[in-house]
Amino acid sequence: EDQVTQSPEALRLQEGESSSLNCSYTVSGLRGLFWYRQDPGKGPEFLFTLYSAGEEKEKERLKATLTKKESFLHITAPKPEDSATYLCAVRSNYGGATNKLIFGTGTLLAVQP
């Protein structure tokens, strides 16, 4: 069964203190790993898609990397506005035409000024 585990559940950083969030997964054939940001009372906002091991994507202070078993979201010199829940999701080969995303439970990031 496809599964996504995110750690830590919560992370508190000081402004400027870099860190990484982890997403480990087991899937029957990966058809993409997705990172989303979710603010309170809002829907998930798309950040990155990674398709194959070794791939990296960057956006402002965020960098996502992918291996065969896990993905990391690196946050460099975070600012308070980076505070949010970060969700990881995978899409597998199971089920043919379905584009179902399997989500982790997220990491709640708080960046203090």
Binding mask 78-97 for other proteins (x = CB under 8 A): ---------x-x-x---x-x
Quote the least distance from Cβ 50 to other proteins, whole Å: 11
The C-alpha atoms of residue 21 and residue 67 are separated, in whole angstroms, by: 14
Quote the least distance from Cβ 96 to other proteins, whole Å: 9
Q: How far is CA 107 from CA 11, 54, 98, 104, in A?
A: 7, 23, 26, 9
Cβ closest to other proteins, residue 36 vs residue 65: 36
